[in-house]
Structure 1
């Protein structure tokens, strides 16, 4: 289980992208909990961010695909608007331990 970052490097309401080998990942912290997903839109298989570490919509409440505007629930990865409505981001198990965030690939 690789260590992605120190816990303080993902503040509340923020998102960050990571590259582990060939795997592109994203983390989001919401209401104190960390969510991890593969950085790949189910619609076209493209990366989601429009700028480095910018995965959230303007309200900070949904993950947004920069390519086609699809919106995903942070808590489940479900697409709730856009061309892939009803599909899901691939969630990855993660945990916070010893002041760091770890993800299972």
Structure 2
């Protein structure tokens, strides 16, 4: 397993980018749970963030693509609003062990 970060490196309700293959990996924290996605909007193929580690809406309810305003559920990666409604972010499987986040597999 490849170590990514500590759960506590990410503020609860926020997300951070980490290098992953040819794109960044978005790691979203919800309490002690983390969710991983490739940083690529399914609509335009652009990165979701407009600045470093700026992924979440102001109310921390959704990941947001800052190119066209698409909103994604942090727990599923499903687009619930915007030009790609119904599409999903590409999921990356993560595991947490002793507070450390790893790529699964």
Structure 2 length-normalised TM: 0.92
**Pairwise CA RMSD of aligned residues?**
1.4
Q: Distance in 1 between matches of 2:45 and 2:86?
A: 16
Corresponding position of 1:77: 77
**Count of residue pairs the alignment pairs up:** 105
Unmatched 5+ stretches in structure 2: none
Corresponding position of 2:7: 7
| Equivalences for residues 1-40 of structure 1 within 5 A | 1-40=1-40
What's the secondary structure of 1:8's corresponding residue? helix
Q: Distance in 2 between matches of 1:40 and 1:51?
A: 14
Q: Distance in 1 between matches of 2:77 and 2:31?
A: 16
Q: Distance in 2 between matches of 1:81 and 1:36?
A: 20
For 1:11-49, what per-residue CA distance to the aligned partner results, in whole angstroms no more than 9, with x for missing partners?
A: 311210011342311011113210000000000111000
Runs of 4+ residues deviating >3 angstroms: none
Unmatched 5+ stretches in structure 1: none
What's the secondary structure of 2:26's corresponding residue? strand
Structure 1 length-normalised TM: 0.92
Q: CA deviation at 1:79?
A: 0.4
